[in-house]
């Protein structure tokens, strides 16, 4: 079943794909929480996470609707959630999509050459979720694809998962994005407008 979703997503994405400029905002699973884990918020796991999600969503829309002309948007998306973000491609809010494995940030093997081609020589701004999980792993993958000196994290556009604190207690490897990169590789979300 996932294979059919992937094929459909790839066909649709290629139909609406636009060239990427020299600066690219990579959105890692930007709506995963909205589409898959809202029940965690409803059960009151972390009340302040609702506020975090509202801020993240508001900032995400501002960037997508008012981004600088020289900033492209690449969706780092799984085939199951592409149905929601595909509308961004159709409306011009995003320019390209690469598809990940289901439940993972890891690109499908067939998508790695495409991602390398799209990001080669570009300055990349990485945003999305979840901090410490898919975001952290995608950060490493993007750094391998285009060089770590070309990759910046976007503060204010990286979201924790609703179970982040639980994961953190289980594994001390999960870090805040400020711990992942030196300060010179962090940019504020408003700088993308």
pLDDT at 145 over 60: yes
**What local confidence, expressed as pLDDT, does residue 40 receive?**
55
Q: Where are the alpha helices (DSSP H) in 120-187?
A: 134-146, 164-170, 177-180
Q: CB count, 10 Å around CB of 171? A: 8
Q: What's the whole-model pTM score?
A: 0.82
pLDDT at 179 over 70: no
CA distance 94 to 24: 10
Average pLDDT over residues 131-160: 84
Estimate the crossing angle of helix 112-119 against helix 134-146, to 10 degrees: 70
CA distance 3 to 41: 30
Domain borders along the chain are 2-192
**What local confidence, expressed as pLDDT, does residue 120 receive?**
93
Classify the phi-psi angles of 14: left when phi > 0, otherwise alpha if psi is within -120 to 50, otherwise beta: alpha
**What local confidence, expressed as pLDDT, does residue 174 receive?**
36
**What local confidence, expressed as pLDDT, does residue 70 receive?**
95
Under a CB-based contact definition with an 8 Å cutoff, are residues 180 and 153 in contact? Answer: yes
Q: CB count, 10 Å around CB of 115? A: 21
Distance of alpha carbon 129 from the chain centroid:
6
pLDDT at 74 over 90: yes
Fold of 2-192: Rossmann fold (3.40.50)
Distances (CA, A) of 102 to 82, 118, 133, 159, 167: 11, 22, 14, 19, 20
């Amino acid at each position: 079943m996932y294979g059919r979703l992937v094929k459909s997503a790839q066909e649709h994405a290629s139909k609406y794909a636009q060239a990427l400029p020299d600066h690219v905002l990579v959105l890692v699973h930007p709506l995963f929480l909205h589409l898959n884990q809202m029940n965690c918020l409803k059960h009151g796991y972390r009340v302040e996470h609702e506020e975090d999600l509202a801020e993240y969503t508001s900032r995400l829309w501002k960037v997508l609707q008012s981004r600088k002309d020289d900033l492209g948007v690449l969706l780092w998306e799984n085939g199951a959630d592409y149905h929601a973000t595909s509308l961004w491609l159709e409306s011009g809010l995003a320019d390209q999509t690469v598809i990940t494995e289901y439940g993972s940030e890891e690109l499908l093997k067939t998508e790695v050459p495409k991602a390398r081609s799209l990001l080669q020589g570009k300055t990349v701004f990485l945003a999305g979720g979840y901090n410490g999980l898919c975001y952290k792993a995608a950060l490493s993958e993007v750094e391998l694809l285009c060089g770590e000196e070309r990759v910046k994290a976007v503060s204010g556009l990286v979201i924790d998962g609703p179970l982040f604190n639980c994961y953190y207690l289980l594994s001390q490897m999960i870090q805040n994005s400020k711990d992942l990169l030196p300060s010179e590789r962090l940019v504020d979300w408003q700088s993308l407008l």
